[in-house]
Amino acid sequence: MSLGKRVKDLGRNVLSPLAEFLAVKNVSPDLLTFLGLLITVSSIFFYSHGEFFKGAIFVIFGGLFDSLDGEVARREKRVTKRGAYLDSNLDRISDFAPLFGIAVYYIKYNQLLASLTFVFMFGALMVSYTRARAEGLNIECKVGLADRTFRILFLIIGSMFGPEIFGWFLIFLIISTYATLITRIVYSMRRL
């Protein structure tokens, strides 16, 4: 079982009582999706000002809402293709937002790390795209280490150490993300 899967399962277990409460109160899963997006997008402000720890807190809380939307939808028996489509698209914005804030900060202070942030941003986008494209061709493609949960987890952990140390986490994320990208492409090509 991958690290990302274990973290997701742990999160679901921890959030289960809250998801049950929200489902009983008939809270819309789409509302939770939008709240998660707004909270995560707010991290841009903190990251762009070099306050990586505070940015990470917003990513954590945004991620909690992102986890709750699916759980609430399942409990309310409101899982729909429309909701899954909306969630998937807003997840890409949530992936981009903190990285945009980080890039803005590094553009001012460290051109190399700014460039590496863009390299990571592109890789993260491509990992998600390769899975979506493979699934569009009826290939389940969840292979590779650096799935979305893995990337967010290490983004948060690295952010807790501040912008100076985060650069080392960024290098680790780039290597693991591009390794996952290559793994997904090879895996999918073998099944076509």
pLDDT in tens, 4-17: 677 767 777 778 88
CB 120 within 8 A of CB 173: yes
Tokens of 27: 């809270």
What global pTM score does this model have? 0.91
User: What integer best gives the mean pLDDT of the chain?
Assistant: 93
pLDDT at 79: 87
Do residues 87 and 65 make contact, with C-beta atoms less than 8 angstroms apart?
A: no
DSSP letter string, 118-174? HHHHHHHHHHHHHHHHHHHTT-----SS--HHHHHHHHHHHHHT-HHHHHHHHHHHH
Token pair for residue 158? 């690295």
Per-residue confidence (pLDDT) for residue 33, from 0 to 100: 94
Residue 143 dihedral angles phi and psi, to the nearest 5°:
-80, 165
* Structural domain for 95, as ranges: 3-190
If we measure between CA atoms, which residue out of 58, 62, 18 comes closest to residue 36? 62
Residues 113-142 have a mean pLDDT of 97
Number of CB atoms found within 10 A of residue 131's CB:
22
What is the distance between the alpha carbons of residues 39 and 57, in angstroms, rounded to a whole number?
Answer: 10
**Marked catalytic residue, from 66, 69, 87, 91:** 91
CA dist 12 and 139 (Å) reads 26
Least confident of 82-86, 100-104, 187-191: 82-86
Is there a catalytic annotation at residue 69?
no
Contacts of 47 (CB under 8 A, 6+ apart): 55, 98, 100, 101, 102, 104, 105, 159
What pLDDT is attached to residue 19? 79
Q: Please state whether 138 falls in left (phi above 0), alpha (psi between -120 and 50) or beta.
A: left
Determine contact, residues 17/45, Cβ cutoff 8 Å. Answer: no
* Number of domains within the chain: 1
- What is the domain-level CATH number for residue 165? 1.20.120.1760
- Rounded to whole angstroms, how far apart are CA atoms 121 and 26? 36
